[in-house]
Amino acid sequence: MPKKFYTDKDIEELHHSGVTSLQISDDIVLTDLAYEKANRLRFQLISDRADNPPAAPVRPYLSEKKPLPPKPTVDTIVSAAIAHPTPQALPKSSALEKGIRDAVIARLGDQVDAKLLDTIIKRTLKVTGMK
């Protein structure tokens, strides 16, 4: 008998249609994401085997939510540079320019003219005494 594979989408669809459990056997294969989705939705997986393992390995690093470090913004980069005006505390001007450029592009996307942005950054750093 061919194996039946369930993905996380299949488990979600079953759950939304009112199904609350699934009989697991050697012919039923849950992907690791399907197994994790079933656990999150409190979907009951019924097995005649005592250990009730998933058919695919569970990758715990996919289900553990770790906070991502905040992306630097223009405000945080400039504030940090102003707060620490000593030459040792300041990043090299090219690193500071790159950080500001990356933050502006992250916020505004391709709406920014790169050449104009570079000119504005250089002038601003010069006026503020950062360069």
Instruction: Give the pLDDT confidence of 43-98 residue by residue, as tens digits.
Output: 888 876 555 555 444 455 555 566 666 777 767 766 666 665 544 444 566 788 88
- Which tokens is 128 given? 């503020």
User: pTM (2 decimals)?
Assistant: 0.39
Is residue 106's pLDDT more than 80? yes
Q: Is residue 85 part of a domain?
A: yes
- Residue 69 forms part of a structural domain: no
**Could you tell me if residue 68 is inside a domain?**
no
Claim to verify: residue 15 and residue 37 sit in the same structural domain: yes
Domain enclosing residue 15, as ranges? 4-63
- Picking from 40, 8, 6, the residue whose alpha carbon sits closest to that of residue 23 is 6
Asked whether the beta carbons of 35 and 58 are under 8 A apart, the reply is yes
- Is there a single domain that holds both residue 95 and residue 118? yes
Q: How do strand 44-47 and strand 21-24 relate by DSSP bridges?
A: parallel
Domain count of the fold of the chain: 2
